[in-house]
Amino acid sequence: MDNQKDTKHLQHELEIHQHELAEQNRELREKQLELEQTKQAYQELFDQAPSPYITFNEKGVIRNLNLEAARFLKSDRKLLANKPFIVFLKPQSHRRFFSHIASVFQAEEPQVITVNIEDKMGNRHWINMRSRTVQTMAGEMACFSILEDITRQHELQEEMESAKAEAQEANEAKNQFLANMSHEIRTPMNGIMGMIELFKTTEFSDEQGTYLEAMENSTYSLLTIINDILDLSRIESGKIEIDIERFSLRRELETTRAFFEPMAQKKDLDLSLVVDDDIPDKLEADSGRIKQVLMNLLSNAVKFTNTGGIRILAGMEDEAENDFILSITVQDSGIGMSENQRERIFERFTQIDAGYTKEFQGTGLGLAISKQLIELMGGTITVSGKINEGSSFTFTVPVRKASEQAPEENPERELEQTADCSSPVSEIFNRPPRILIAEDNAVNLLYIQAMLTQEGFEIASANNGKEVIKLLEQNPFDLVLMDITMPELSGKEATNIIRNTQKENFPSDIPIIAMTGHSMKDDRQALLQHGMNDYISKPFTKDEVISTMKKHLLACADKDTRSGHE
């Protein structure tokens, strides 16, 4: 009886267990169905995705890809499975691609790379690959990459870079053209101004003196125009550099004021300078650019003022330890300007008195250039005034108080300071110094010869670099005035030969002073690097040439004295 009960109990438990197994099997089948449906849905999403998707193994072999990727690569998806992806890459991209795959398996964050691929039709594409690791259905780790076609963006970038390069090339060509034109204009201008200067040393009537003065004023006006155009070109090409040097503020302001004093006196104008006592005299800033802006403002003030006077005011603002803001104001009692003129005064080619009946000449570039120079130095420039009530221009620049231990002057000026340029040239060597002039322009040569002869120099001339070398081999000279642009052999080439000639009695260390119409700052540096000792830009004055020559002749005389030579 008990056995029957046990048997029935076991049968009942078995039935329950079978029922549970059937239920588990049903649930398993349902989960398998859900999994298959999920897998199918994922595959459909993967296949129908609008972006190309590819999975790689650690060796960069394609394990799976969607339909968009196959279309992108212009190939059958079945043929792409288990194919190395590098077949689509240029050889130079292979190493970068493998490094990318390796970094994906090592890093937790997504990795990005840009590669150039070529599809089966031979079309080239630039693509961004954004990759990360994923686990496949089989439980393996793979590199999952999303491909983004950036070919058009890359082409646009290349077009932009090409256009930029073309613009830069065109700008360089323009700047070179302006530099060449500067040289071509400055050379004959030097002859004209030189002839005027020589004419003024002769006897002439009052009427001739009036004509000479008019000619001289016209040449200086033309030179101002040329300098304005060159400055604008340098600013546009980014070749303007700010040179911080130690200088005496009061000396620079006074010399600038003194330069305009004769012009002001001629119009019966009072020209005064007031400097705040609290401003240190020794400062560090670009004194040359500050002076250039001040001269531009004073030139306009004198030009547009017929009665009254002009004041230069210098003050300081925002002092902090060794730094402060230098403020310089130029006030005049001239014609003034309207509100509309004040708003446009710093624009290029803007002139206060524009039109066919304008009284005052100019390019309308000076104030625009001044504004850009001030901004390059980190400052500002403003204007105020009213019609017939004068104008007031104020510019500010950051400056630094110069250290007391620093040398007072720029090292380049040391040689100039030692030269006594007021003494007769014969006293330098106890004989007339012998000068070789290299100049192919007949008018300029005539001017330089007459100038040096009046000062007691012995001179010889050459029309090109070859003649210079020949004359130096045959005759002793103390200094060479070297034009740069000459036929057959340029001044640079001749200087290079002179400096590298190792012959007995050949003066390879003779002072060479460049005389050229090339007036860019980098022209000076390039000439000094070519072995020249100094640089004079055309058009030059007699005083400029003589003082430059004397400082180098004096240095040579001191050297000869120290070495025991006559």
- Please tell me what DSSP assigns to residue 89: B
DSSP string, 22-75: HHHHHHHHHHHHHHHHHHHHHHHHHHH-SS-EEEE-TTSBEEEE-HHHHHHTTS
Homologous superfamily of domain range 52-149: PAS domain (3.30.450.20)
Q: What is the pLDDT of residue 438?
A: 93
pTM: 0.55
Q: What is the pLDDT of residue 2?
A: 61
CA distance 486 to 174: 23
User: Cα–Cα–Cα angle for 511, 516, 520, nearest 5°?
Assistant: 110
Q: At what angle do helices 491-500 and 465-474 cross, to 10 degrees?
A: 30
Phi, psi of 503 (to 5 degrees): -120, 150
DSSP string, 104-163: HHH-SS-EEEEEEEE-TTS-EEEEEEEEEEEE-TTS-EEEEEEEEE-HHHHHHHHHHHHH
pLDDT in tens, 322-333: 889 999 999 999
pLDDT in tens, 281-305: 999 999 888 988 998 899 889 989 9
Cβ burial of 98 (10 Å; 0-12, 13-18, 19+) is: middle
Whole-number CA gyration radius for the chain: 41
pLDDT band at 394 (very low <50, low <70, confident <90, very high): very high
**Residue 249: Cβ within 10 Å count:** 21
How much of the chain exceeds pLDDT 70, in percent?
A: 83
CA distance 292 to 377: 13
Longest dimension (CA), the chain: 163
Q: Write the class of the CATH domain 423-563.
A: alpha beta
Helices (H), 267-365: 287-303, 339-344
Average pLDDT of the chain, as a whole number: 82
Q: Which contiguous run of DSSP H or E holds residue 536?
A: strand 534-537
Asked if pLDDT for residue 269 goes beyond 80, the answer is: yes
Q: What is the pLDDT of residue 174?
A: 74
Average pLDDT on 251-271 reads 90
Asked if pLDDT for residue 349 goes beyond 60, the answer is: no
For the chain, which residues make up each domain, given as ranges?
A: 1-48, 52-149, 163-236, 245-411, 423-563
Q: Which residues pair with 62 in a beta bridge?
A: 56
Residue of 67 and 462 predicted with greater confidence: 462
- Please tell me what DSSP assigns to residue 324: E
Query: Which residue spans within 286-390 are E strands per DSSP?
Result: 309-320, 323-332, 380-385
CA distance 463 to 408: 41
Fold annotation for 163-236? Helix Hairpins (1.10.287)
Amino acid at 121: M
Fold annotation for 245-411? Heat Shock Protein 90 (3.30.565)
Cβ burial of 25 (10 Å; 0-12, 13-18, 19+) is: exposed
pLDDT in tens, 409-459: 444 444 444 444 455 666 666 788 999 999 988 888 888 998 899 888 999
